[in-house]
A and B are shown apart, each in its own frame.
Chain A
Amino acid sequence: MMEILIVLDQIQAGLGGTEHGDLPLGGKKIALGAADMFDKYLNKDEKITTTLFCGDEYYMKNKNEVSLKLAAMINKLKPDAVICGPAFHYVEYAEMCAQTGAIVSEKTNIPVVAAMSKECSDVIKEYSNKVDIVKMPRKGGTGLSESLQDIIDVCRKKVNGDDLNEFKEIKIY
């Protein structure tokens, strides 16, 4: 069983709208909110088992502390793979995904993937060489299902230690 951990903001976790940006760090041993979107792309032996979440405002006020704690928790829980996102075009959330993904990528052997749309160009520029960021459309844009499939594919390849070259350039920033 491949156990996947996902990192979401308060909106994607289904824990409130922008007004709940101050939601502090938390987590549940279940697939919350947007995590359900991946259901149909997962094989029988793959499952999102854990959701970590944090409000985007809370993250912006405590950037380093939040990403460090998220990475520390991921390291402690030791999932088989981590998905940071999908962040769509939400820049703050995208930054949380990228920063956390970068730490996990750098400091642990746990396969990690972030995902955001091209609108988050500054974040992509800063972190694309530190963590694999999968391309995806902005909220409501076309190509969402394809990108969700890509996220899972990249995850799977990283877990299996497969070559990612064919993905680079086309699917990954």
Chain B
Amino acid sequence: MFNKLEKVLMPAATKLGSNRILIAIRDGFLITTPLIIVASIFLLIANFPIPGWSEFWANYFGNGWESWFTNVSRAVFNTVGFFTCFSTAYAYARQIKSDAIQAAASALVAFLILTPTKMIVDGLKEPVDGVLDMEYLGTNGIFLGLIVAFIAVIIYDFVYKRGWTIKMPDGVPPAVAQSFEALIPSAFVIMVFFFIRILFGMTGFETLHNFIYQILQVPLKGAGNTLMAQIIYGFACTIFWFFGINGPAVANSVFAPITKVLTMENLDAFQNGHKLPNIFTDPFSNFFTNFGGGGSTLSLVIVMLLVCKSERIKQLGKLAIVPGFFGINEPIIFGLPIVLNPILLVPFNLVPLINLLLSTLVTKIGIIPYTNGVALPWTTPIGFSGYLSTGSLWASVYQILLLILGCLIYYPFIKTLDKQYLKEEHDAKMEKVENISFDDLTNDDLNFI
């Protein structure tokens, strides 16, 4: 069965893992991730989930002190679509060995060409002209940002690699020569998006932003926002790990753009004091289904430390427990190992699945609140992460219950493995022990009577 499974999964994994567009999306998000995490810390300080927090600091710094911090978080969160366009274009151009920074810059301009420059302001009859509405640069711009990034880079690269560039004579400094080389490819990109803007201006959508949002982002987001999509995502993550492939890295290339949008929407609602709209956000996935790393292996490590007798497992448990609290489980994945280990395949898939189903249920019936979308580092330890991502202590308690449930599920399987390893260790030890052979008894020995 494992061979068959491997035959199906390996090509799919290789294909997904080597697809330049998917790699570019993944790497593009990686460029924005540090900014989002830093901004999240600022946001968290402004909105720390303790009652009276805001009032307490207002005594020292005055009302509105939060805006010092939200100025920083807004600078990142309200421009995330814009930056995704830039970072993805850069990552993709780097992939295809084009002029990465120039191609990314032209993608950014293309994105802005398409962005509406009229804004409706409360109290004014006519829309204000010549301004950029941050609404289009933030979460709502992620999908368009991705599409623009790829189209712009493809056009840029097409022109650039055909040599349709202005060549400067030798002796001109390289920076100047490169700048001229970028001129014609950039002009092509700008021309194409110039016409696109005009074309969409003639339709009822008015701008491509509106078109994309209505045609693509809403349905896609809807598909990603279902339990079934989450089950598929979770299963993909763990099954890829089983074959030694970083599951989330593969699956995220497909799912991350969707969950990112869902997360950002919650954050937006949280900031504005609205009802949180989505369950399946990144924090939900990180802290309520896969805490302790893929497969929720923190439970496994605890069981390894508490009940296993084999030296190999005990030592590994000691090494893996601290990283495990921070969601890093590579020592277990490759050390135990989980990779290609049929005994652990079942719980490794089952635990996150049960976590997902239970967490969805308790969130829906309101035992724990929806996650607020604050992008806590995925390394935030269990207990803290539940509280910080929802503002509810019940969520922390619930996480601990999930951790215990995970221990119970992992228990019989790791015990089986423990027995197997114990036997191996015992056999290895016994081989070294001196045997006593009764064939060595001489007649003298037997005649002691």
A-side interface residues toward B, CB under 8 Å?
24-30, 50, 52, 68-69, 71-73, 75-77, 103, 107-108
Contacts and interface: CB of A to CB of B under 8 A. Distances in A.
Nearest to B443: A72
A141 to B, nearest CB: 26
Contacts of A69: 438, 441, 446
Interface stretch (B113-121, B263-271, B427-435): B427-435
A103 B435 CA distance: 23
B438 A25 contact: yes
B126 interface: no
10 contacts: A26-B437, A27-B435, A27-B436, A27-B438, A71-B448, A72-B448, A73-B436, A73-B441, A75-B448, A103-B449
B433 A108 contact: no
A73 B448 CA distance: 10
Contacts of B445: 72-73, 75-76
Contacts of B449: 68, 103, 107
Interface string B407-449: 0000000000000000000000010011111100100011011
Contacts of B446: 68-69, 72
Contacts of A76: 441, 445
A77 B448 CA distance: 13
A39 B446 CA distance: 32
Nearest to A29: B434
A140 B446 CA distance: 37
Query: Which of B435, B436, B437: most chain A Cβ within 10 A?
Result: B436
Query: Which of A28, A76, A77: most chain B Cβ within 10 A?
Result: A76
A23 B374 CA distance: 67
A21 B446 CA distance: 24
Contact of A72 (B430, B433, B434, B441): B441
Contacts of A73: 436, 438, 441, 445
Given A72-B441, A73-B441, A28 B448 contact: no
B433 A29 contact: yes
A27 B433 CA distance: 10
A137 B433 CA distance: 32
A108 B436 contact: no
A146 B448 CA distance: 35
Query: Which of A25, A77, A107: most chain B Cβ within 10 A?
Result: A25
B423 to A, nearest CB: 11
**Ordered nearest first, which 3 A-B pairs have the shortest CB separation?**
A27-B436, A29-B434, A25-B438
Given A29-B435, A68-B446, A107-B449, 18 more contacts: A24-B438, A26-B435, A26-B436, A27-B437, A27-B438, A28-B433, A28-B435, A29-B433, A30-B430, A68-B449, A69-B438, A71-B448, A72-B446, A72-B448, A73-B445, A75-B448, A76-B445, A77-B436
Contacts of B448: 71-72, 75, 107-108
B431 to A, nearest CB: 11
Nearest to B438: A25
A59 B226 CA distance: 68
A68 B448 CA distance: 10
A76 B443 CA distance: 12
A27 B435 CA distance: 6
Contacts of B441: 69, 72-73, 76
B121 to A, nearest CB: 82
A29 B434 CA distance: 6
A72 B438 CA distance: 9
Contacts of B438: 24-27, 69, 73
B176 to A, nearest CB: 81
Nearest to A77: B436
A26 B437 CA distance: 6
